[in-house]
């Protein structure tokens, strides 16, 4: 059996790097040498800790990682739209031998799918739609920077589907990777103001991402500070964290006839909106997102400098796969926004 190293959540709170079987590929699949992955502070930590609702979706043990980029080294016989050497976003190892996949991106070898060929051949959409996240990374973008495409695509789709556009006022609660992305997208979409409520040590980063005002979440008058420029509320209020208090805060700041969005899932089960907290009737956004629909736009924004991976990533401080625990320690210490995991060579 040919093996590879992968980061596996063996049980609640237990992340190990161990040798497992290298994936084999099917007709429409490609084997990829994984180049880089980046850590998702929310999803990855929730999976390691087996927090709900994640523990209901993923069975342990499972290979971690959903923000990885891989280079194609082998093609299945029916692959037509991808070629050797292409670098593909959102690759993952499928698991096997009793090990599941928590998307499986933190592995030395991963799999991408030629979903376009499957569609061309008339295969049921349900079998390939989930693989539309496998997109070719532009040659001008480094594999390390390419790990940001997952965050950027997801959050851009989320913002555009809400209708954020020129002249909008936006409140973002949360200063992690997704909150920073929401702020940068809001400004790129034409929002004239974007107030961020976040951690004190993220203010400079938040402003680099596009926040026009920044409020420390521990401030007793955080709501009043946030509303200073918009006393009757914001056109769009986005809770990127997803807890009872943060949802309440976002709810209390959305203007009448405008949009409240609860994106985060930290403690989503405890959220219960209070009818009298808002300025008036509002819309609760439940439209989700689609990474695939935002890929081309993200490519354009990266090419013209509207998205800058350096706000999130430190390419000079990447961790080896064997040292992935140090990456999670960097998150806990808040010394990095999204630690990079170097898995293979460029």
For residue 176, how far is the Cα from the chain centroid? 10
Which phi and psi (to 5°) does residue 183 adopt?
Answer: -65, -45
pLDDT reported for residue 208: 97
Give the tens place of pLDDT for each residue, 209-218: 999 999 999 9
Rounded CA-CA distance 178/209 in Å is 11
Residue with tokens 């509303």: 227
Question: For 210, which DSSP code?
Answer: T
Question: And the tokens for 164?
Answer: 């954020």
Report whether 41 contacts 177 (CB < 8 A).
yes
Residue 241: partners with Cβ closer than 8 Å, 6 or more residues away: 173, 174, 176, 179, 264, 266
pLDDT reported for residue 55: 64
List the domains of the chain with CATH numbers: 3-147+313-342 (3.90.180.10), 151-285 (3.40.50.720)
- The number of beta carbons lying within 10 Å of the beta carbon of residue 125 is 12
Taking the model in full, what pTM does it have?
A: 0.95
Residue 131: partners with Cβ closer than 8 Å, 6 or more residues away: 112, 113, 115, 118
pLDDT reported for residue 52: 67
Rounded CA-CA distance 250/288 in Å is 18
Give the tens place of pLDDT for each residue, 116-142: 999 999 999 999 999 999 999 999 999
Cα angle: 262, vertex 337, 66; to 5 degrees: 70
Residue 68: partners with Cβ closer than 8 Å, 6 or more residues away: 34, 35, 36, 37, 38, 90, 91, 92, 105, 106, 110, 147, 343
Report whether 217 contacts 198 (CB < 8 A).
yes
pLDDT reported for residue 346: 66
pLDDT in tens, the chain (346 residues): 799 999 999 998 899 999 999 999 999 999 999 999 999 888 888 888 877 676 667 888 999 999 999 999 999 999 999 999 999 999 999 988 899 999 999 999 999 999 999 999 999 999 999 999 999 999 999 999 999 999 999 999 999 999 999 999 999 999 999 999 999 999 999 999 999 999 999 999 999 999 999 999 999 999 999 999 899 999 999 999 999 999 999 999 999 999 999 999 878 888 898 888 989 999 999 999 999 999 999 999 999 999 999 999 999 999 999 999 999 999 988 899 999 999 987 6
Give the tens place of pLDDT for each residue, 71-83: 999 999 999 999 9
Rounded CA-CA distance 3/251 in Å is 50
What is the secondary structure of 67-97 as a DSSP string? SEEEEEEEE-TT--S--TT-EEES-B---BT
Question: And the tokens for 96?
Answer: 């096997």
Report whether 315 contacts 292 (CB < 8 A).
no
Stretch (H or E) spanning 275: none
Residue with tokens 């929730």: 46
Rounded CA-CA distance 227/212 in Å is 13
Residue with tokens 């692959």: 79
Question: And the tokens for 17?
Answer: 């790097």
pLDDT reported for residue 75: 98
């Amino acid at each position: 059996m040919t093996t590879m190293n992968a980061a596996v959540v063996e049980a609640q709170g237990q992340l190990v790097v161990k040798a497992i079987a290298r994936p084999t590929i099917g007709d429409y699949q490609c084997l990829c040498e994984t180049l880089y992955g980046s850590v998702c502070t929310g999803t990855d930590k929730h999976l390691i800790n087996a927090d709900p609702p994640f523990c209901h979706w993923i069975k342990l043990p499972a290979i971690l990682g959903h923000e990885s980029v891989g280079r194609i080294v082998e093609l299945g016989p029916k692959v037509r739209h991808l070629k050797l050497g292409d670098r593909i976003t959102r690759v993952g190892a499928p698991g096997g031998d009793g090990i599941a996949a928590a998307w499986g991106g933190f592995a030395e070898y991963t799999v991408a799918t030629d979903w376009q060929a499957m569609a061309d051949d008339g295969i049921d959409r349900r079998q390939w739609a989930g693989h539309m996240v496998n997109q070719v990374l532009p040659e001008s973008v480094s594999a390390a920077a390419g790990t940001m495409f997952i965050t950027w695509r997801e959050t851009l789709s989320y913002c555009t589907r809400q209708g954020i556009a020129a002249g909008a006022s936006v409140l973002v609660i949360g200063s992690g990777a997704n909150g920073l992305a929401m702020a940068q997208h809001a400004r790129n979409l034409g929002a004239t103001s974007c107030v961020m409520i976040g951690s004190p040590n993220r203010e400079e980063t938040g402003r680099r991402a596009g926040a026009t005002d920044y409020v420390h979440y521990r401030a007793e008058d955080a709501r009043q500070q946030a509303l200073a420029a918009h006393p009757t509320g914001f056109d769009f209020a986005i809770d990127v964290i997803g807890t009872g208090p943060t949802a309440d805060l976002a709810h209390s700041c959305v203007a009448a006839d405008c949009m409240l969005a609860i994106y985060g899932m930290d403690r989503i089960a405890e959220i219960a909106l209070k009818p009298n907290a808002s300025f008036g009737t509002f819309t609760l956004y439940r439209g989700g997102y689609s990474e695939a629909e935002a890929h081309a736009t993200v490519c354009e924004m990266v090419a013209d400098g509207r998205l800058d991976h350096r706000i999130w990533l430190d390419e000079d401080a990447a961790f080896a796969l064997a040292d992935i625990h140090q990456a999670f320690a960097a998150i806990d210490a808040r010394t990095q926004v999204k630690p990079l995991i170097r898995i293979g060579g460029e």
